[in-house]
Amino acid sequence: MKNLRLTWGMLAFSVFLTFTACQKNDVDPATELTGTEFQMANLTELEAPEVTSQSETDEFRCKPGDSTRVHALVNILKQLNLDENQRKAVKNFARQHQQCVAEHIIKIHQLHKELLHKANVAREEQLKAFKEGKITKAQLEERLMAIRANLREELMKHEVKQLHMRIVRRCRMELLTKIESILNQQQLQKWNTWKASLL
């Protein structure tokens, strides 16, 4: 009888170990889609960043972007109920996309920083002229407004930036096309509705 109880006890313990081991190895599908590789830059804001208004007290800077757009891809992927193979494929696509855009986005941000610096140097020159009585308050405001307008145009239309933006947009389209290629019809319907909302 003791042997029988011992046997059942060992069996129950083995089942418990197997169950807990499985629990440790199980991965929540949602957590697989939350890495930084799934965060997408907001291309609209990257292409045409909003500049703060001209001011005597504050330098020109780019306003913070909409963080909801950064996580837009993660949100739709969680709604698609991807199977394990799809999740692995999408994760690989996302990594490829990050490799494709990383260098170009860094260069775009560097260019933004350079253009902002140039505009703020011009702003300081006008403030100095105003404080020295060389220009009037109205002239200062007019010139600061002109500096801001020129900055906004450069941020959008700079030739080198446009080259990088074309590459980033091409990388983005490649990512979306790859994801679409592995979706079933039901998933694709949700995906297309989401994609249309981005336009």
**131-to-41, 60, 125, 135, 138 alpha-carbon distances in Å:** 41, 19, 10, 8, 13
The total of other beta-carbon atoms located within 10 Å of residue 118's CB is 15
Q: Is the separation of the CB atoms in 130 and 137 below 8 Å? A: yes
Asked whether residue 174 carries a pLDDT value surpassing 80, the answer given is yes
> Can you tell me the distance from the alpha carbon of 122 to that of 131, in angstroms, rounded to the nearest whole number?
14
List all residues 6 or more positions away from 179 whose beta carbon is below 8 Å from its beta carbon. 90, 93, 191
Per-residue model confidence (pLDDT) at position 197: 79
Paired with 62 in beta bridges are 51
> Can you tell me the distance from the alpha carbon of 73 to that of 94, in angstroms, rounded to the nearest whole number?
10
- Tokens 């991965």 belong to 27
Per-residue model confidence (pLDDT) at position 26: 42
Q: Is the separation of the CB atoms in 84 and 25 below 8 Å? A: no
Please, where are the H alpha helices in the chain?
2-25, 43-47, 67-70, 72-79, 84-131, 137-157, 159-180, 185-198
Supply the mean pLDDT for the chain. 84
The answer to pTM > 0.85 is no
- Residues 8-34 have a mean pLDDT of 47
Asked whether residue 12 carries a pLDDT value surpassing 50, the answer given is no
Residue 179, classed as helix, strand or coil, is: helix
Q: pLDDT per residue over 58-96, tens digit each?
A: 899 988 766 556 678 888 999 999 999 999 999 999 999
Helices 185-198 and 72-79, interaxial angle, to 10°?
Answer: 160
> Can you tell me the distance from the alpha carbon of 35 to that of 33, in angstroms, rounded to the nearest whole number?
6
Per-residue model confidence (pLDDT) at position 39: 81
